[in-house]
Structure 1
Amino acid sequence: MDEKKLWLKISGSINYYLQYYSKRLTNEELLLDYMEYALPDMDGDGVHTYLDKQTLERVVVDVAMMDRAKVAFMERLEKRRAKEVPVIEEKKVLAKVIDFSKYRK
């Protein structure tokens, strides 16, 4: 698979992953989770691979493509986080609590 096709597939997987990301995790945690999800290091030897879903073959991803994917992931994640509407939780005040310690004899 040539480099352009591989980049298109990795870019698409970044977009797919960011559709349903956890808002509780930090950017670095999400990046590590994505790398384990889309570009895992299967043998633990530092060589990351991408599974081509059409041919079901593993394609080796070089260091330059990994760096490009990391930069693209962080940029897209920052754009999505900037668009998020912060949810402000309002504290509900139910009723004032009566202090019975004043009424003891």
Structure 2
Amino acid sequence: MKALILVGGFGTRLRPLTLSFPKPLVDFANKPIYDPTSEALKAIGVDEVVLAINYEPEQLLVMSKFSKDVETNLGIKITCSQETEPLGTAGPLALARDKLVDGSV
């Protein structure tokens, strides 16, 4: 089963924490916010996650490094779908469509 996590927001309500750090990796209770989400997805049978990342290239680099750790620890395949320019509210969903649909729909 596949899941899509939208992680591309600017994190304006978490500033100043998100000025130099991606929102999903901000610590909450000594763990990145992203950890409980990925653990919950694994628990319900998700084996592949697509991260919809915004157009900031440095966020892709940081999220890619973090994703490798999650893949190793949880056994979930993680891929990124990155906007090359801001696409609006539903843009990331349309952009990730090919990574979510496996032809069996």
Quick check: TM above 0.5?
Answer: no
Task: Write 1 or 2 for the structure with the bigger share of strand.
Answer: 2
Task: Write 1 or 2 for the structure with the bigger share of helix.
Answer: 1
Could you tell me the TM-score, scaled by structure 1's length? 0.28
Larger Rg: 1
* Bigger relative contact order, structure 1 or 2 (CA pairs below 8 A, ≥6 apart): 2
Could you tell me the TM-score, scaled by structure 2's length? 0.28
